[in-house]
Amino acid sequence: MSSMISIEIPREVVHASRMTHQELRHELAISLFQQCRLSFGKAREMAGMTVWAFQQLLASRGIPVHYDVEDYEEDLTTLKELDRI
């Protein structure tokens, strides 16, 4: 079962950033991934992007994908939960 939380960002801040809601999600996901606070899979999920699209986004910014055993196991668990394997 999945649940969501909301983050309140003042409208003025969003306006000043000149970014869409989706762009803000991408930036947060990228930042947390770069800081090793989220795995690739979770950051991609947060960004709402496919694996390939998220990889391309990271590559376009020169951000290396750090995919380790923990990430692999997490992805396997997700695939099992989705009945993909």
Residue 76 lies in a domain: yes
What mean pLDDT comes out for the span 17-36?
Answer: 95
Residue range of the domain that includes 50: 11-81
- For the chain, give percent helix, strand, coil, nearest 5: 60, 0, 40
Residue 5 lies in a domain: no
Residue 66 lies in a domain: yes
Residue 6 lies in a domain: no
Rounded to whole angstroms, how far apart are CA atoms 54 and 43?
9
Query: In total, how many domains does the chain have?
Result: 1
| pTM to 2 decimal places | 0.71
Q: How confident is the model at residue 12 (pLDDT cuts 50, 70, 90)?
A: very high
Task: Dump pLDDT digits (tens) for 68-80.
Answer: 788 789 889 999 9
